[in-house]
Amino acid sequence: MFRAMHSDDTAVETGAAAIARRLASAILRGQYPPQSLLPGEIELATQFGASRTSVREALKSLSAKGLILSRKKAGTSVRPRADWQMLDRDLLALRLEIGPEHSFATDLLALRQAIEPAAAAAAAQFQDKAAIAVIAGAFAEMEAASHDRKRFVDPDLRFHKAILAASGNEFMMAFGAMIEAGLAAFITISLRHTEAPAPSVPLHHNILKAIEAADPDAARTAMETLLSRTKSNINQDLA
Amino acid sequence: MFRAMHSDDTAVETGAAAIARRLASAILRGQYPPQSLLPGEIELATQFGASRTSVREALKSLSAKGLILSRKKAGTSVRPRADWQMLDRDLLALRLEIGPEHSFATDLLALRQAIEPAAAAAAAQFQDKAAIAVIAGAFAEMEAASHDRKRFVDPDLRFHKAILAASGNEFMMAFGAMIEAGLAAFITISLRHTEAPAPSVPLHHNILKAIEAADPDAARTAMETLLSRTKSNINQDLA
DNA sequence: TAATGCTTTATGTCTGACATAAACGCAATC
DNA sequence: GATTGCGTTTATGTCAGACATAAAGCATTA
């Protein structure tokens, strides 16, 4: 049999988690279109060189994410796209791996434009001092890294997540993965766009100031401004 | 042993799906707080009167929803709330079963106020004729049921889902479950509020007209108006 | 004190078997 | 001919017991 000789190989991964990833990837890429039937569990087990137990655990994961539905005798079929948990962390990460299309980046940005201004306004209203301090801390690190595109990414992400957390709305807090994927897609697509992130620093500062000043409308507007700029950057890079 | 004599009983359900529901419910209710350890798989199996296989498949489901994390030797622990896939269909449904708190309804409504106006505007811009026809169809049924609070719910839900579908944004389409839970929570909380839904019909009509007229701003405004009214209804009922 | 190695333990995987229910085909019937 | 009813088939669902694996905890040692 063919087996990996050393650990850091491109060898075929095994285990339920890997099977789940590979199956999910195949479904996301359209290899198994909605309504179609997956191979039976036994056949999948031989395909992946694993036991039926592991295959079943992998299928359970996909089922929990709304990708598939198993029924006795009928087999396991792919559910319609409308049922997929599109904002699931793992699914978003997978789509980034597969290679984000343009609509992936633009649709995610449109969603950010709906959520984040509302979250910023809510944070300005809610006035959770500890959470606002986290925003301020992230902003300080952004300033410090404002001339290093690579180091900038991490505090930038933390800044936006901290605003979600400060909104006081538990459902808005669930969009961290979406922002992460949105930023990553933006970076992937606009690789040429190597200008330093410095210009966006004052835009972020305006958001922070408005939240600290307990001014919801200003916070909403400032966030809208920042995201509009991101949008025009994307469009510019696609041109 | 105590066993159900007839099928429609309150007997303890068995099977991986039931175990997953009961464990998820326990976690959501705070019986196993974040960072805490769940009982081992073998102990869970005896607790639920099932095999370790079924327990493991149930745990896989919860893991896919971000509720738990299993590590060798260390056991299975509850992840921080920020990692939970709060907008997951099943989790939302579970929280409705458990009994929606007030913050559940109000937080969901705040999210709707962020998403749906944007979706309506996008639908007005995108102009997918077939999808818009679906909205119109749902609206016609709403009109027909405008004096029957019970019959009104279903086309109402379809109306809002159809707008998400017409937005042309695949991520916005993923919020159907959220709207469903939001409506259900509203109904649960405002049971006393038995007035006929007739007053909301013209508000819905305004949204439809704006989308058909390809007027994004009007569509956004009309949706905002409708949701503000819903919000004041909730506040009124809680007073 | 800190590094090392052994033991323990809970999850991870495998195997083979049986249970269950829904789809299918066939036959009897209207 | 269309339909109903009933076994048969088959793929998922569950079970049991065993072994693999890796990380945590402890004891030992430099």
Domain ranges of chain A: 16-82, 89-238
Per the CB < 8 Å rule, is A107 touching B171?
A: yes
Confidence grade of residue B71 (pLDDT, cut at 50, 70, 90): very high
Chain B 76-115, residues with CB within 8 Å of chain A CB atoms: 81-82, 84-90, 103, 107-108, 110-111, 113-115
CATH number of B89-238: 1.20.120.530
Confidence grade of residue A6 (pLDDT, cut at 50, 70, 90): very low
More confident residue, B214 or A8: B214
Structure tokens at A220: 């909403």
A169 touching B (Cβ < 8 Å): yes
Nucleotide D12's nearest residue (CA vs C1') is A72
Nucleotide nearest to A14 (CA to C1'): C13
Residue B120: per-residue pLDDT: 98
Least confident stretch, A26-30, B89-93, B132-136, B145-149: B145-149
Rounded to whole angstroms, the maximal C-alpha distance in chain A is 67
Count of Cβ atoms closer than 10 Å to residue A238 Cβ: 11
- Residue A102, min C-alpha distance to chain B (Å): 12
**A106-115 pLDDT, tens digit each:** 999 999 999 9
Q: A171: which chain B residues are within 8 Å (Cβ-Cβ)?
A: 86-87, 107-108, 110-111, 178
Residue A5: per-residue pLDDT: 38
What are the residues whose beta carbons fall under 8 Å from the beta carbon of B199, sequence distance 6 or more?
none
**B146-172 pLDDT, tens digit each:** 988 889 999 999 999 999 999 999 999
A136 touching B (Cβ < 8 Å): no
Nucleotide nearest to A73 (CA to C1'): D11
Tokens 């850091």 appear where?
A: A8
Q: How many Å apart are B74 CA and C11 C1'? A: 8
DSSP 8-state code for residue A48: H
CATH class of the domain comprising A16-82:
mainly alpha
Residue A11: per-residue pLDDT: 63
The answer regarding whether domain B16-83 maps to CATH 1.10.10.10 reads yes
What's the CA gap between B146 and B79, in Å, rounded?
45
Q: A90: which chain B residues are within 8 Å (Cβ-Cβ)?
A: 64
Q: Bridge partners of A68?
A: A78
Q: How many Å apart are B164 CA and C25 C1'? A: 44
Run of H or E residues at A77: strand A75-78
